[in-house]
Amino acid sequence: MRSAAPGDVPHVARFIGELARYERLEHQLDVDEGRLCEHLFGERPACAALLAEIDGAPVGFALYFTNYSTFRTRPCLYLEDLFVAPEHRGAGAGLALLRALAAEAVRRGCPRLDWAVLDWNESAIGFYEKRGAKLLHDWRVCRLDGDALLRMAGGG
């Protein structure tokens, strides 16, 4: 387990593509390695990533960023993506990524670590619940994108 470095951007981009295929969201994919590198390692990073390795080869990743709890008036961490290549699942890489991210949240003094999981992804839900995560059934994710985002911004 280690933090991603600039030379790892192709691995992270590949894992993002594999995750999109797994989640049946490949039609939404618009990965640009230059943008990804800038957002991970530029002057003002927007996110960070961890890589899981087996025998020195990357097998999975976790991408995360800081968000904020107004109720706790403290920064928190948000796990955007956690993915382990199918052929390496069950070897502990996913758990190692989740533990490393939880340790980072604790190190930073964050009161919580949040993420979303697709409702059909029973194996991921079981994995997270087994580790003590709670599904928040009374919350729904909201999103503005594309034309709706432009209209809301007054541009269309």
Q: What are the catalytic residues?
A: 128
The C-alpha atoms of residue 91 and residue 57 are separated, in whole angstroms, by: 14
Phi-psi region of 109 (alpha: psi -120 to 50; beta: other; left: phi over 0): left
In angstroms, rounded to a whole number, what is the distance separating the alpha carbons of residues 43 and 24? 33
- In one-letter notation, the amino acid at residue 154 is G
- Six-digit token string for 47: 């996110």
| Alpha carbon 147 to chain centroid, angstroms | 25
